[in-house]
Structure 1
Amino acid sequence: MSLSETVSKIESLNDEQRDCIENCNEAAQVCEWCADECLGSEEMEECARLCRDVADLTSMHARFMARDSNYSSQLAQACAGACEECAEECERHDAEHCQICAEVLRDCAETCREMAS
């Protein structure tokens, strides 16, 4: 069963929450990939550091939403800010993994902002 199928079975979630969970999980995965690709390059250290932060925040936020945590909206705000900052950093680099990461993070930031409001 795919993640989408699993998330669709959580009855307490609305469509916006489902989209945000999927975007957060995608962001976590792409950030881990991007961070790994950046390792070993001094000029990419900040990118790798931010990507690791975002991977942790987005995976935590997805879990909090899935269990309808009272802290989900505060975490959504932190997630959106971290995604935006990381996307800006990734956009500074020409590497394909950074460009892909930035694109995914922009979508994730948008859905997290919606969850925060």
Structure 2
Amino acid sequence: MNTKYEECIKACLECLEACNHCYDACLKEDHVKMMAGCIRLDRECADICAYAVQAMTRNSPFVQEICKLCAQICDACGEECAKHDHEHCQKCAESCRKCAEICRQMIA
């Protein structure tokens, strides 16, 4: 693993896992339509986190731009998840905020 990206890769993988768990749990909620925004952003966030990990592990020349976008999408997902009281949403929001912060630190 590229050690200069190690912390960021770990945060992205944790966020990806939290988003996938939240996505799956939201689909099982009684009022799925109310969770549509959360579900959509969970997918977007999980996908960009996975792509960011790939970019970092192959030392892409676009790591800075990809991780900047990852932080923006993590922020959006974290904000949406924080609106919901479900435990899976709250854990996802926390993971998204952490990932966004670490992505920004890495590209600073």
Residue 73 (1) aligns with residue 29 (2): no
| Pairing 1:3-42 to 2, within 5 Å after superposition | 10=1, 12-14=2-4, 17-39=5-27, 41-42=32-33
Equivalent residue for 2:45, pick from 40, 46, 54: 54
TM-score for the superposition, normalised by structure 1: 0.85
Instruction: Give, in whole Å, the separation in 1 of the partners of 2:64 and 2:106.
Output: 6
Alignment-mate amino acid for residue 27 of structure 2: L
- Residue identity over aligned pairs, in percent, reads 40
> What is the CA RMSD across the aligned residues, in angstroms?
1.1
Show structure 1 runs of 5+ residues with no match.
1-9
Is the Cα contact below 8 Å between 1:13 and 1:66 reproduced in 2? no
1:63 aligns with 2:51: no
Q: Measure, in 1, the Cα distance between the counterparts of 2:64 and 2:49.
A: 12
Residues 13-52 of structure 1: CA distance to partner in whole angstroms, max 9, x if unpaired?
Answer: 32xx101000001111110110111126100000000000
Instruction: State the shift of 1:110 in Å.
Output: 0.4
CA deviation vs aligned residue, 1:39-92 (integer Å, no higher than 9, x gap): 261000000000000000001101110111001110001000000111000000
Structure 2: runs of 5 or more not aligned: none
Runs of 4+ in 1 over 2 A off after TM superposition: none
How many residues align? The count is: 105
Q: Aligned-pair distance for 1:113?
A: 1.1
TM-score (norm 2): 0.92
